[in-house]
Amino acid sequence: MKATTLDSEDISARVGLQTISWGPRIHDLAKFASTAAKIGYTGIEFAQAPHTLPEGSALKKILQESDLTLLGFAGGSLRSRVEYAAEAEPLYLYLDEWDLGAAQYAFDAGLTVAIHPHVYKDIDTVQAALKYLDDFPQARLILDTAHAFLVGDDLCQIITQHWSRILAVHLKDWTSKFGRSASRFARGFTALGRGELSQQVREVVQLLRERRFPGWIIVEQDSPEGDPSLCAASSRDWLRQIGV
C-alpha cells in the first residue's frame, strides 16, 4: 500500500507525531502505527535509536500499511541514523548538537540534515543555528514552539525571515509549574491546549496556514500525562478545534 498523496496546500494533511512519549522502545510498531493513523496523524518522526527499530525496509512497510510518511529520526548518534537511513529513506535526520564529521557524512550520503534549536544545548536559538545554516546551504531547520519560547525566540518573526529553510515545526505546549531549570523544564511539556503556550501555538499554526507552509507540523510531548496515545489524541483534537 502506498502512502496517501498529500494536498500541498492543506497543512491538515501533514500533521506528524513525534514518538518520544513512547519511551526508548516501541514494542508493537504495527499497533502504534495503526493507532497513530486512526487518531489522524499522517507522518511519524522517531525519537528511538535505530538499534531499537526493525530493519529500515521493514519499518517503511509498517508505516506504509497505515498510510504514514516516515519523517525523520532523532534518536541515537547521527552516524547510526545515516547508516540506518539507507533503507528507511526518511525525509530528514534531526540534529540539535553540531557534529561536523557526522553531518558531512550525512550530506555525502545525499541525506537532509535538519537543525533543531534546543534550550540548554549549544544550538539553543535560531541565531546559534544560523552559523551552520550559512555554512551548509543544504541544511534545513526544525522549529519548536516550546523551545523557542524558553530561549526567547520570536517564532512568527523567525518563520517569516527564514521561510525557505524550514522543513518542519514541532508543536509543543508547556507549563511553568515545574520550573525552567535544565533538570525540570521538560516535565512541563504537555498536550496541546493544556499549557501556557496555547495562544502562541495557535498563532504559529495560523501563520503557517496563511502562508501555505509546504512542510510538516509535528506534535511532540516529552512527558505524557498517562497513556501517550490518549495524549496524542488530545493534541490532535485540539488542532482540529483550531481548524487543522
- DSSP category for residue 21: G
- Please provide the average confidence, as pLDDT, over all residues in the chain: 95
Q: Does the domain spanning 11-241 belong to CATH 3.20.20.150?
A: yes
End-to-end CA distance of the chain: 25
Q: Exposure string (b/e) for 98-124, b if CB count within 10 Å is 16 or more?
A: beeebbebbeeeebbbbbbbbbeeebb
pTM as predicted: 0.94
Specify burial of residue 225 (Cβ count, 10 A radius: 0-12, 13-18, 19+).
middle
Instruction: Provide the pLDDT for residue 5.
Output: 39
Judged against a pLDDT cut of 90, whether residue 73 lies above it is answered with yes
Compute the half-sphere exposure of residue 137: CA atoms within 13 Å on the CB side of its CA.
0
Instruction: Look up residue 226 and give its three cell numbers.
Output: 498517562
**pLDDT tens column, 185-242:** 999 999 999 999 999 999 999 999 999 999 999 999 998 889 999 999 999 999 999 9
Specify burial of residue 8 (Cβ count, 10 A radius: 0-12, 13-18, 19+).
exposed
Instruction: Provide the pLDDT for residue 225.
Output: 86
Give strand pairing partners of 18. 45
Across 62-72, average pLDDT: 98
Domain ranges of the chain: 11-241
**pLDDT tens column, 97-151:** 999 999 999 999 999 999 999 999 999 999 999 999 999 999 999 999 999 999 9
Instruction: Provide the pLDDT for residue 223.
Output: 84
Instruction: Provide the pLDDT for residue 8.
Output: 56
- DSSP category for residue 72: E
DSSP 110-174: TPPEEE---TTSSS-SHHHHHHHHHH-TT-EEEEEHHHHHHHT--HHHHHHHTGGGEEEEEE-EE
Judged against a pLDDT cut of 70, whether residue 45 lies above it is answered with yes
Across 172-178, average pLDDT: 96
**Strand 113-115 to 69-73 pairing:** unpaired
Q: 79-83: which pairs have CB atoms within 8 A and are 24 or more residues apart?
A: 79/105, 80/49, 80/50, 80/51, 81/50, 81/106, 82/106, 82/109, 82/111, 83/50
